[in-house]
Structure 1
Amino acid sequence: MKKTTLRRGKTKNLLESSIDCALLAVEIYNKPRAPFRVETFITNMIMAWSRLFQAHFNQTIGETYFYKLNNGRYELIDGEKKTWDLAKCIRTYGKLSAATKANINLFIKLRNKIEHRTINKDEIGLMIFGECQSLLYNYENELIKLFGDEYAMNESLAYSLQFSKIRTTKQKESSKQLLSSEYKDIVEFIKKYRDAIQDDIFNSQEFSIKLIQIPKITNTNKNDLAIEFVNLNSISEEDIEKYEKLTTIVKDKVLKVEGSNVGKLKPGNLIQQLKDENSIIINHNDHKCLLSIFKIRPFKDFCEDYDPFETNTKYCHYDEAHRDYLYQENWKLFLIHVISNNLITKEQWKENFKNKIILDISSFEL
């Protein structure tokens, strides 16, 4: 591993600031009674990643990691040049794995969602614990890759102690009942994001680290560490098979998926089936209007905050690999129901689309 000795200057200041953000993120996350643990962790880790790339760019290409206007001048905010955001840094750097990019992208989107919200709930933290751990591990791996082992943080971090019984079933159910619509929206977003990414990325430890905590009861050396971390990417196939057998101890259900996107329809196929099977004739513009006014999937010219993952998963899924949308059989049945029964006319859906009026789909469902 290369060793980089940085002199005092902007690169070193940016790098030290990046490391401080990461350490602060971990410190707050590991404090059980600290308020806003999840928001603080996400915000500080986004800053840690951003400043890590800024330090790298400052060292390699100089102070050019700023947005420019069409006239070639730098874009200013309060008199300061506007630095590239994290997404732009990742694209420019271009060396992260697909799983690492998917992991960071999840937290960029989460940061945007929680900017004006408070998600001080343990359930959210537990739900994304694996992704949080990967975000941190990926950060340190990239930190070492770019600036050398001397900047590794693992010696200064401690494993967070855990209670043996985190939650009882009744506690979980009571807590779920208290979840506001904002919490439900965030939970739904996380589920949809996970569903949309490819299986090989989802199963990668660079996207989400899955931990099984089992007391070590075999004879061990008195000098052994109490905690051992094993990276599946670095062990043999035989040991991976043993791990898979071990996980059956704690799994209560194994779900096998034979293929992805089975039974889902592309828009052209959907429109053709409506015509062939039910004599319902609509074109792609009609379909866009219906998708928009019933809030099935987002369109840039209809939504203020466009996010491709914001779909009604009962009817539609975003396929990230192909950057398009696929529709469930339920959506076809819904269209047959509302159009055949004249619950909404072509003139009405066009007028609603023109005026950006969203209809409550539950009032039209079977």
Structure 2
Amino acid sequence: MEPLRWGVLGATGHIAGRVLPAIHRTVGNAVVAVAGREGRRERAERVARAFGARVHDGYDALLGDPDVDAVYLALPNTLHVPWTLRALDAGKHVLVEKPMTLSEEDCVRVERAAADLVVMEAYMYRFHPQQKRAAELLASGEIGELRLVRSAFAYPTAVEGNIRFDPALGGGATWDVGCYAFDVPLWAFDAEPRAVRATFHSREVDLSAVATLDFGDGRWAVLDYSLEYGPRAAYEFQGTRGSISVRNAWTRPDEEGVITVVTLDGVREEAVPASDAYEHQAAAFAEAVREKVTPLVSLAHSARTARVGEALVRSAATGAEVDLRRRL
């Protein structure tokens, strides 16, 4: 089997430092080229040496490399759409860090440009065996009908020099940690909420938020997320006959997962062996490319997530509930 040959845009960033080794370790994948920001040639060369890859001077040069099949895009949020579109135009498959876009409109642009190429938003936790087991338990009906999802993701983050706090680069808690928190109820209910309401604590960007999502028929999600408190990374499914709780939804590669199931019959815990979600994500992406199938995190899912994110931002700005049945 020929490996899927990867080029990396933004190779010197923090998140790339976690994803590149995972791609490199995964059977059927190879990191062959990297490109970093202007002025970071030396750092890019150090990264490249670790994987036996070559360094390109600039992102366009990497996209022009005929030996690159797929691009992993780890740039600031506002650069995701333009460089995704340029990568697609160059005939490359794209794995793009979340948020892929900051609007539904941009999701449509990406979908139109993708044609027969694979584009996937990098929600790595969706590929972890812990996540798959939680989904199996939910689908089994053991806790009855799903009525409430509680989801949280938060960690305190240094502000100085951090692009997460730059409004010009799409910074803020909603598009950094919040999109994980509201992604959970979207796949759990497999639906878009009818309405959302959010309250932000903000300075130049939103730092923390609490939000409710109304899925209709007595089904709700309650979220909190933050860049100023934590750590907190958990979700819970409350059904009519019990609950499923995931203690740490975004486990480290060396951390065992723990799922707690509570019903009228009692309480039990299931342990999920430690593994690297980024490795599972890389393997799944390569399989989607080879098999020419829609990936687990589809562009339709990404459009739905973007709509909800936009609605939460609007609700916090206006202080009112936003009805998603009326297009934004």
Q: TM-score range, shorter-chain basis?
A: under 0.3
Structure with the larger strand share: 2
Structure 1 length normalisation: TM-score? 0.23
Higher relative contact order (CA 8 A, sep 6+): 2
Structure with the larger helix share: 1
- The structure number with the bigger radius of gyration is 1
Structure 2 length normalisation: TM-score? 0.25
